[in-house]
Amino acid sequence: MVSKKVQSIKPSGVRAIFDMAQEDSINLGLGELDFRPPREVTEACKKALDSDSYRYGPTMGIPALREKIANKISRFNKDIKTSNVMITSSGTQAAMATFQTLFQEGDEVLVPDPGFVVYAPECTLCGADPVPYTMDDELNIDLEKIKEGITKKTKGIVVNSPANPCGSVLTEEAFKTICDLAEDYNLWIISDEVYENFIYEGKHYSFNEYLDRSVVLNSFSKSFAVAGWRVGYLSAPDSIISEISKMQYHILACPPSPFQYALNDAFDCQEDFINEIFPILKKRRDLTTDLLNEIHGFSCIKPRGAFYAFPSYDIDIPSADLAVKLAHQGVLCSPGTAFGDAGEKHLRISYAASEDNIEKGIEIIKNFVENF
């Protein structure tokens, strides 16, 4: 028998649909950019593979890359040093190492619902109880719901801005309120900022500003379009970073060396890359929202960040079944319930796809839904 903890978690509802892909399926399901990474990055990787990067590296990642990241995020907090930064093997693994370090049996952790698929199961795997907090009508964080969810057992709160799947972006008021709540109730903030570069309206409030009580998760998957390389990073206060690195050692010993060398070499081209793809994504966002709102019974709030639209629908079918039926029609999108119970009657449409595929994919959805 497998452990009770593993029995109690479900496989990802996003992957379930992805696994149904046919060769000609239109993929609006995955949170993966359809752009190739910058040439500088792939060239740097080839060079790294020819060096002695085949060896084990340091558990916390190569110092040069940690230093570059520390310099970059010190714009939010001048006290951040290289020693506050750890390279991980993805944002997902950064979350796992952090949750395992901070949470245990008897703890409650507030998680967004709808929210990214790993938060709740990763709490469960620590023995902690995930406590969902829902969003307001505009899909923004509902601060009242967070306050209502806090009990004597609450140990942490997971925040994700820009958000997957909601596409919302934290306001200054929400940012400050969450910092105050953390202070008042002695909570850890786990802030997932992997979409920080994809904000179309609003600005990024980073919990690096408030690192005393925060662990900030990040990743190169989205910001350099290298999701398959599995490299991410986190920043954490002096008091716990070495504890998280102990956990990281036991998960993977060290993050993959060649990709770290490559990302370190090409680090400075990230800004140009983002500047190049940002207007394309913004245009696709507008197209996606407009087309979804043309479907009878669909309502889509224009997302302010990330690269997902999260429309609601009014036909009588659970989102998991609707996503399966749409996959059979040739378009992959994610059921809202993959992101929590509050995601029911929603679909997540990723617009990290060509305009042509967005148009074709949403046309299939429209035909199916309007004839349902």
Ligand X SMILES: Cc1ncc(COP(=O)(O)O)c(C=O)c1O
Binding site for ligand X (CB under 6 A): 31, 90-92, 116, 160, 164, 192, 194, 219, 221, 227, 232
Residue 111 near residue 119 (C-beta atoms within 8 A): yes
Q: Between 219 and 248, whose beta carbon lies closer to ligand X?
A: 219
Burial level of 86, CB count in 10 A (0-12/13-18/19+)? buried
Q: Between 108 and 192, whose beta carbon lies closer to ligand X?
A: 192
DSSP character string of 218-248? EEHHHHSS-GGG--EEEE--HHHHHHHHHHH
Q: How far is the CB of 234 from ligand X (least distance, A)?
A: 11
Q: Between 116 and 368, whose beta carbon lies closer to ligand X?
A: 116
Q: Between 221 and 257, whose beta carbon lies closer to ligand X?
A: 221
Q: How far is the CB of 91 from ligand X (least distance, A)?
A: 3
Q: How far is the CB of 350 from ligand X (least distance, A)?
A: 9
- Distance between CA 196 and CA 221 in Å, rounded? 12
Q: How far is the CB of 285 from ligand X (least distance, A)?
A: 16
Instruction: Provide φ and ψ at 68, rounded to 5°.
Output: -65, -40
- Distance between CA 258 and CA 152 in Å, rounded? 45
Q: How far is the CB of 297 from ligand X (least distance, A)?
A: 27
Q: Between 90 and 208, whose beta carbon lies closer to ligand X?
A: 90
Q: Between 69 and 369, whose beta carbon lies closer to ligand X?
A: 69
Q: How far is the CB of 66 from ligand X (least distance, A)?
A: 17
Per DSSP, helices labelled H in the chain are: 4-7, 13-18, 39-50, 63-73, 91-102, 119-125, 143-149, 172-185, 220-223, 238-252, 257-265, 270-293, 319-329, 355-370
